[in-house]
Amino acid sequence: MRPVKFSDVVIVGLARDEAPEILSSETIEERLEPVYERLRLPRGLLASLTGILRRRLYPPDFKPSQAAVRAAEKLLTQTGFDRGHLDILYSTSVSRDHIEPSTASIVQSRLGLGGQVKSLDIGSACLGFIDGLELAALALERGLAGHALVVAGENSRPILEATLARLREVADRAVFFRHFATLTLGSGGAALILGRERDHPGAPRLVGAVSRTDARANDLCRGDEDGMETDSPALLTAGVALAKATFDQGAADLGWTPAGFTRLISHQVSAANTRKLCQALGLDETTLVKTYPDYGNIGPVAIPFTLDLARERGLIPPGARLALMGIGSGLSCSMLEVFWP
């Protein structure tokens, strides 16, 4: 797919939902103490390798749709937006309430949205939210819709608990580290409304988007409700190479330069991943808004969650050019430029 330029799509508003329970990396290691002793692993390994000090969790039976609805209701309250004006709803979570029906249909019902709304799930690993924004923006540009709501919700507790139970029986370091990335997962919700600039002058504007894939690497990270196995070193290498190719395409077709972006809002896995990404793309790591130390890897929630946190903390100056970007298992990479007036 060729890079796309947008001329009339803006961010009307966004909001996040923070899961209530904080789980520290230290506490996880305490629960794995027999495993650490058996495999002779040093305490503090999780934080030192990932930079993640803590992550947040919902109750065990809390569904992805509930996190998405909480973020969406918060957004509608903050902006005073009339939900009757929504035409599109995309749910972009990795996890879902059920295999069927779509999680989007559950969100739509709980938000009380009418039958004019086209709703569906968009799954693209950790890049679902960015892909949802791009597809919704294309519909707005074509005049097929006036407003779109994109949501995501993740509860990592079930997969985390399943992994902790599995690791208690592990007697091999290689097996332990194949499941290690699961310990970085966090929970949260996010919601964002897109509209047209003609209806919302002065709002943050979508400028352009670039996407590339490397499906040869689809076996480097595979997960389901029971667990996730990852070849972390190979995934990092392949992911960074794909990100470099994606950014280079943005440079060629959209005029991107490493120094041209004021802030980097990325899907965040760990300290090593973000550092390698910035180095490969020539980006100043100080422009990265970091959420992984306190929230871990929140999957597709991470980018809108980080953007909302940056907005709330006053980290986005007027006239900023933002790079929203991430790498998802599969592999896929998407980058979206936003101008913040």
Question: pTM of this prediction?
Answer: 0.97
Q: What is the pLDDT of residue 171?
A: 78
pLDDT of 253 higher than 80: yes
Give the tens place of pLDDT for each residue, 329-340.
999 999 999 999
**Confidence (pLDDT) at 76:** 98
Q: Provide the 3-class DSSP secondary structure of residue 154.
A: strand
Mean pLDDT over the full length of the chain: 96
Q: What is the mean pLDDT of residues 285-306?
A: 96
Active site amino acids: 100, 126
Q: Are strands 320-328 and 263-266 parallel, antiparallel or unpaired?
A: parallel
Give yes or no for a contact between 338 and 130, defined as CB atoms under 8 angstroms apart: no
Q: Where are the domains of the chain?
A: 202-340
We find that the CATH architecture of domain 202-340 is 3-Layer(aba) Sandwich (3.40)
* Element (DSSP H or E) covering residue 233: helix 232-254
Confidence of residue 235 (pLDDT cuts 50, 70, 90): very high
| Residue 1: predicted pLDDT | 81
- Flag whether pLDDT at 227 surpasses 90: no
Does the pLDDT of residue 205 top 90, yes or no? yes
Torsions phi, psi of 263, nearest 5?
Answer: -140, 145
- In this structure, are residues 58 and 154 in contact, taking their beta carbons and an 8 Å threshold? no
**Rg value, the chain, Cα:** 19
Banded model confidence at residue 161, pLDDT cuts 50, 70, 90 = very high
pLDDT given for residue 84 in this prediction? 96
**pLDDT, tens digit (0-9, with 9 covering 90-100), for 60-82:** 999 999 999 999 999 999 999 99
